[in-house]
Chain A
Amino acid sequence: MSGIAKRKLSNSVAMGISVLCAAIGLGLLFLILYDVVRHGLSSFGWTLFAKDPAPPGMAGGGLRSAILGQILLTAAALLAGVPTGVLAGTFLSEYGRSLKLSKIISAVSDMAVSIPSIVTGAFVYAILVKPFGGFNGWAGAAALAIIVLPVIVRTTESMTSMVPWSLREAAFALGAPYHRVIVGVVWRAAAGGIFTGVLLAAARAAGETAPLLFTSFNSGHFSLNMSRPVPSLTVTIYQYAASPYESWVALAWGAALAVTAAVLLLNVTGRVMIGLKQRR
C-alpha cells in the first residue's frame, strides 16, 4: 500500500470510530431525554406546580414547594455569586492584569470549576450546617454560590479581556477615570458574554444535587425561611425516586422533567446568545 493510501485508510478508520462514538453519545442523551419526557409527562400538569407533595402512599400532590425552593436557592446563590464573581473577574482583567497574583487566582478558579460538588457540599456542611445545628437554606445557597463563583469569575475575566484595548484607550483619551471606563465601556461591551456566563452558571447550579443534600436538604412544606431546610427539585428526585411509594416515584419523574427542561432552556438560551454574538 502506498503512503497516501495508508493515510487515507487510517483517516477513514479514525473518522468512522469518531462518528460511531458521537452517535453512541448522542443516542444515549436522547434515550435519557426520551425516558424523562415519557415518564415525566404522565405526572406533568397544573397540580405539579400548584400543590405540595402528598403524604407517602397517598396519590396526587405536586412539587410546588420544591420548585419554589429551587428557584429561591438558585436566586440566592446568584445574588451572592454574580456580583462577587463579576467584580473579581473584572479585577483580574483590569486593575490586576499585570499582577502575578491574578494569574494564580485565574488558575485556582479554573481548578475550582472542577472541584467535585459533593466536596463543596461537605465543606459547607462543616461550616454552615454543623455549627448552626441543622440543615438550612442559607447553607444550600452558599454551596451553590461557591459552585457558580469560579464559573462567573472566569467568564467575566475572559469576556472583559476580549474587549479590545483600543476601546479602553479611546475612553481614557476622553479623560475618563478607570472605573468609568470599566462601567461605561468595558462592561457594556462584555455584557452579552457575561450574561451568557451567568445563564450557564445558573444552569449548573440548578442541576446540582450533592451539595444540597448536605446543606438545605429537603422539606415537604414550602417556606421562605432560609434558616430552615429548603426543598429543591434535585434532592426531591433523589429521595422520591428511591422511595417505595408509586406516587412519589411519579413525582420524581415530574421533577426530573422540570429540572431537565429548566437546565436545557438556560443552556440553549446561553448558547444561542453566544452564537448571535459571534455572528455579529
Chain B
Amino acid sequence: MDLLTVNNLNFYYGSNKSLDDVSLPIRRNSVTALIGPSGCGKTTLLRCFNRMHDLYPGNRYEGEILMDGRNILDRSEDLISLRSSLGMVFQKPTPFPMSVFDNIAYGLRLRRIRNSALIRDKVEKSLRQAALWEEVKDRLKESALGLSGGQQQRLVIARTLAVDPEAVLFDESTSALDPVSTQKIEDLMIELKKAVTIVAVTHNMQQAARVSDYTALMYIGKLVEYDRTEVIFTKPKHKMTEEYVLGKFG
C-alpha cells in the first residue's frame, strides 16, 4: 500500500524550477531512501510532503501528491493535521530550549492533551522507541540543550514519534553525527518501520543500502530511477544510477 503517491510534481522557488516532473510512490511501513548529488532536489522533494515550503513566500507546487485519495498540495489541505501525521527530522538537531520532558510533551500539549499521567507514559514510550530512555531517564527535567548531538537527534526523533505520525521524514539526519550515534539511528529506522513509514534523504550509500527498502535517485530536479533498493544497488536500469551508487560521480 502507498502512503503517498507523487504524480508529475513540479516545484518552484520563485521562478527557479527545482523539481521537474517527479513521480514516485512512498510505500507504507518501509524505508524509502532519496539519494543524488548535492543540489539535485532531495530536500526540496521531502519538504513538499509536509508542505514546509508554504512557510516562505513565492514558492509554488504543480502536480499532485496523493494521500488517502486527496491531493495534499490543494489549498484546502489542513497543514496542521498534515504536519502532525508526517513528522520531520532535520540535519542538525533542533531541541527546543526547554527540558527533555517538555520537548517530548510539546507536541502532545499542542494537541490539548492535559492528562499528566498520559503525557508521562507517552514521553517514556517515545524515549524508549528512540533508544534514548536509559540515557536520559534521570535528567528529564534538565535542559535538552545539555544533551550531546547524537542524544539531541534521538530526542528530536522521540518528539516526532510522541504524536503518533504516519511517517517520519529524515533529511540527512545522521550526517552531523558520530558513527556510533549514526548506527543507533539506522537501527532505529529499521525498527521503526514496523510502526511508521520512513523517507530518508542521505548521502551515505552504505546507509541507503543497509536501511532502505526502496531507493530513488535524483539528478538536477528529476527522478532518474526508483526501484527496490537491491535492484538500484545491483542491477539498475540506468548507467547514471550505477555510477552514482558506486561513487563514480556526484
Contact = CB atoms under 8 A, between A and B. Distances in A.
Nearest to B51: A172
Given A169-B52, A188-B97, A189-B97, A175 B90 contact: no
Interface in B56-102: 57, 79-84, 87-88, 90, 92, 94, 96-98
Contact of B163 (A167, A171, A175, A188): A175
Contacts of B163: 174-175
A28 B159 CA distance: 56
Contact of B110 (A166, A176, A189): A176
Contacts of A169: 52, 55, 88, 90, 94
A188 B52 contact: no
A167 B94 contact: yes
Interface string B92-127: 101011100000001100110000000000000000
Task: Give the size category of B's interface with A.
Answer: 20 to 34
Nearest to A167: B94
A98 B58 CA distance: 11
Given A184-B106, A185-B96, A174 B84 contact: yes
Output the residue of B57, B94, B156 with the most chain A CB within 10 A.
B94
B14 to A, nearest CB: 13
A166 B98 contact: no
A5 interface: no
B97 A174 contact: no
A166 B159 CA distance: 15
Interface residues of A, number: 18
A173 interface: yes
A42 to B, nearest CB: 48
A177 B83 CA distance: 10
Nearest to B88: A173
Interface string A152-180: 00000000000000111111111111001
Contacts of B160: 173-174
A188 B107 contact: no
B213 to A, nearest CB: 24
B94 A172 contact: no
The binding surface of chain A is classed by DSSP as helix
Contacts, number: 62
B94 A166 contact: yes
Contact of B83 (A173, A184, A188): A173
A177 B80 contact: yes
B94 A174 contact: no
A180 B110 contact: yes
Contacts of B94: 166-167, 169-170
Nearest to A180: B110
B151 interface: no
B159 A174 contact: yes
A180 B163 CA distance: 16
Contacts of B90: 166, 169-170
A183 to B, nearest CB: 11
Nearest to A98: B57
Given A166-B94, A188-B96, A174 B52 contact: no
A174 B52 CA distance: 11
Contact of A167 (B79, B82, B96): B96
Contact of B96 (A98, A171, A172): A171
Nearest to B111: A175
B50 interface: yes
15 contacts: A98-B57, A169-B52, A170-B90, A170-B156, A171-B106, A172-B52, A172-B83, A173-B52, A174-B83, A174-B160, A175-B107, A175-B163, A176-B107, A177-B80, A184-B96
Interface of A: 98, 166-177, 180, 184-185, 188-189
Please give me the 9 A-B residue pairs with the lowest Cβ-Cβ distance, nearest first: A175-B84, A170-B94, A173-B88, A175-B83, A174-B107, A189-B97, A175-B80, A188-B97, A166-B94
Interface of B: 50, 52, 55, 57, 79-84, 87-88, 90, 92, 94, 96-98, 106-107, 110-111, 156, 159-160, 163
Given A174-B107, A189-B97, 7 more contacts: A168-B55, A169-B90, A170-B156, A172-B55, A175-B80, A175-B81, A184-B96
